[in-house]
Structure 1
């Protein structure tokens, strides 16, 4: 494996230049404010690791201390990045549209040839983000099997030209990204953890791309995105979800089309999805927050404890009291 980095505290642009040089990444400082690159430009935490040959991860939670920017030369590669919190200026790509980052949405960027770009930041701006870089040689090692599994979707991003996909919200991938930034490990244990989590993050993306392609062939890319938009609305408003007709209007399709496409995309009805997510939320309330069964059921929309218990047992295979007990034991 290659170089590994963990920086906590204040650091300068020159620190970034040195770390990039170790990874054969070409970046050049562009001064937007008349200060030295040796003075602190940002404060917070940065992690970076080449977890396998051709597979790199990086993550940071940074507050910028002055206006500045970096010019970047991107080698042929696949980049998968997610802004977890805060704000980030768009990635400016020479001759191409800029790439703006929406919090919680993974951007998959494929560079089939060398590409110049620039990223700037401004004083007081904070960004928490995670990303991986996949180089062609990493996927080449799987050449004998890659055409027959989900990884084939990744190879498409390394063809000549530029390709970009903004994935729907992937809760598990976002959770993995946050876990990488927050873990307490050091040394070899940290590197092993980085490797396992980076591979899991990549797998989540590969599966999502494969599923998007599969369902997209059936209902079309636009309808697939609308189904995902509907699910994101439901996730944000789970405690008081919109009626199906209102949801259809909000995403711009008729109710019948939304119901059909939602089931094709997610294998369940709108009602079934909301019900399962509420049960999962109830489980968290009991197992992690120590709520009693009736209280947890009420919080997730079940006014009748018996109905909550029956639905819970049917979905999880055991009564909610088992998770209630675990939650109470954890708190004591």
Structure 2
């Protein structure tokens, strides 16, 4: 069964919520599961004009689709987001747990759907920031940012340019998010504390952009090369039981193998092998959760000839054994 959480439906039931939405007033949409197996919520709060925090927190026994509404055109606007995937996987953003992305682009629609996978604890923390406020925060260091990011943030004219930068989430970032989610204060002290921690997160994220050489390289990546990288990704997904080597994959998509390795990490935030390994284990998790195949059969299905190696890799990734997953034990 697939669960649905509809933002437009929640707004239609409480139309005054969006109209009277005020600063520092959290707005929460609970996840409703009639069977009582899954739980969680989606919460949004504006810390100040132009600075918004969004939290998705779910414990899922079934797949979940979060619907933002129809993908209808709207007036273009500058969209800057820093998104931290603490746990869980969705089929839209292609970001691994313990990684994050910074995105800057002109946005022309608000509608989309995000699909979260069953059997997982989902925790995602997003920061949305107005372009003018972003420039104010950065101040004199604005010129040190990558040219494309500066162009999107400053240019008042809509464009097709898009800046996306993927990196691992550092210990300092994880600590700041933990402090935000477990803030011990109340009242004005709470809101000043939360705003300070969110600004700290923005600073840590911009420092990654400034220091990471792949951020600059990604700006120069052609559309054709990016298309070939996505083609390589699709080949890996279609051949999980017998993944090609990097050299074979490079030949299939027409890229030099070094450019494939470098570009794959820039776009997907991990190596070719790491991505293939992740997808194989994710497919294994789904098959085990369904319970129709034995552990040995699942290992074979995702390309592991050695069941012991499969069990070891699965436990490293999810914190439980394949047999425990098949028995319905929750992932850690």
Q: Under TM normalisation by the shorter chain, which class is it?
A: 0.3 to 0.5
Larger Rg: 1
TM-score, scaled to structure 2: 0.45
TM-score (norm 1): 0.45
